[in-house]
Amino acid sequence: MMSVVPEPDLPTNLACLKPVDALLRCPVCFDYTNIAMMTKCSHNFCSLCIRKFLSYKPQCPVCNSTATESDLRNNRILDDLVKSFKDARHKLTQTTFESPPISPKT
Identify whether the C-beta of residue 39 lies closer than 8 Å to the C-beta of residue 21: no
Between strands 36-38 and 44-46, the pairing is antiparallel
Q: Could you give the C-alpha distances from 43 to 13, 39, 81, in angstroms and in order? A: 30, 5, 16
Within 67-96, which residues bind a second copy (CB under 8 A)?
Answer: 73-78, 80-81, 84-85, 87-88, 91-92, 95
Given a second copy, Zn ion, none, residue 77, with its beta carbon under 5 to 8 Å by kind, binds a second copy
- x/- site string to a second copy, residues 23 to 62, per CB under 8 A? xx-------------x-x-x-x------------------
* 9 lies in the site for a second copy, by CB under 8 A: no
